[in-house]
Structure 1
Amino acid sequence: MLSLEGSVPSTENLLFNAVLRPNRSLSKKGFKILMGFILCIIFISSLGFLLAGAWPVLGFLGLDVALVYFAFRFSYRSGGQYELVQMTADEMLVTTVNPWGQKRSFSFQPYWLQVSFEEQDEENSLIVSSHGRSVSLGRFLAPIERKELADKLVSVLNRIKQNQL
């Protein structure tokens, strides 16, 4: 069974706690400024076309503005996804939330957990697995951020395994 509801570890026992979110370089305020700038440029352009007698172009310019707006809105919606990775000595809990708010939780025992970091050309992938179950982590992260996450997870797992021997 892939989707397991794990217990939320208490914060005092956490050995690792990370919230992974996609990067959005344009803030909401920046989005409003950009849309205002685009509207000004389109308005000035549309006046030129209107004065030249090419009024049908106005509809296409309005369509351009609508497409840019909806493309950014879709991008912001996908920015609502995140992954929560929490690890104690007894459990690793991975909670993924998609852009529509649907949650899935995966629970692993750290002692048996394998961290697979595969590099292919300039891309890489990070997969944690145990007992036939696996989860890909940080697909939306930059390759260097996935590498740092893999290194941190391996470090914490090594500490857990050394303390249990």
Structure 2
Amino acid sequence: MPYEWIAPNQDGEPTELHLWPYRSLPKRGFVIFIGVTAAFVLLPLIAVLGSPILWGILPFIVGAVWAMWYFLQRSYKDGEVLEELCIWDDRMTLTRHNPRAPKQEWEANPYWVKVELLAKGGPVEHYLILKGGNRTVELGAFLTPEERERLAEEIPRILQKVSAP
């Protein structure tokens, strides 16, 4: 599950929710993929070892493997998004850490925050938004629709639990 709730250890600490995008290719899989791809691409070059044809083909093969490596690394960097939702009894903050942009922050009073799940009309299916503090923010746009639905049920329960005396 690409999100986790962190319960407070002491009074005064917030209840936290951390969300991140799902990784379909772990780092170990990335290394294996690049190694196997390079081996399969270089295997036919054995037939042309020692001939001038090798030097004509080799730059293109190295370029293709390098481009694959570069764009997979870039995809990993783009996926380093982290959203942190912190809930105290008197305030609530959402901080989104973007990989190549400044972080974005939102704050509101949890008593006035509304959690809405838009089945249609949002940029993604079951678009999860928080309304409060004169602003509307999205939460977990990178999650699956089922995860957003589950989160839309969990957040109001946590808000009630935190605001209960």
Shift of 1:53: 4.2
| Alignment equivalent of 1:138, drawn from 133, 137, 140 | 140
**Residue 16 of structure 1 pairs with residue 15 of structure 2:** yes
Q: Counterparts of 1:120 and 1:56 in 2: how far apart (Å)?
A: 54
C-alpha distance after superposition, 1:109-148 (max 9, x if no partner): 0111111111139822111011421111101111111111
State whether residues 19 and 82 of structure 1, in contact with CA within 8 Å, keep that contact through their aligned partners in structure 2. yes
State whether residues 93 and 106 of structure 2, in contact with CA within 8 Å, keep that contact through their aligned partners in structure 1. yes
Q: Counterparts of 1:48 and 1:155 in 2: how far apart (Å)?
A: 66
> What stretches of structure 1 of length at least 5 have no aligned partner?
1-8
RMSD of aligned residue pairs (Cα, Å): 2.8
Instruction: Report the identity percentage.
Output: 29
1:71-150 matches, within 5 Å, as 71-100=71-100, 102-120=102-120, 123-150=125-152
Q: Counterparts of 1:111 and 1:134 in 2: how far apart (Å)?
A: 15
C-alpha spacing 1:131/1:95, structure 2 compared with 1 (3 Å): closer
TM-score between the two structures when normalised by the length of structure 2: 0.79
1:38-53 matches, within 5 Å, as 38-48=37-47, 53=53
Report which structure shows greater RCO (CA 8 Å, sep ≥6).
1
State whether residues 81 and 101 of structure 1, in contact with CA within 8 Å, keep that contact through their aligned partners in structure 2. no
**Residue 69 of structure 1 pairs with residue 99 of structure 2:** no
State whether residues 87 and 162 of structure 2, in contact with CA within 8 Å, keep that contact through their aligned partners in structure 1. no
C-alpha spacing 1:148/1:57, structure 2 compared with 1 (3 Å): same
Residue identity matched to 1:132:
N
Shift of 1:10: 8.6
C-alpha spacing 1:71/1:146, structure 2 compared with 1 (3 Å): same
Shift of 1:46: 3.1
> What stretches of structure 2 of length at least 5 have no aligned partner?
1-7
- Pairs aligned (count): 155
| 3-state SS of paired residue (2:154) | helix
Residue identity matched to 1:97:
H
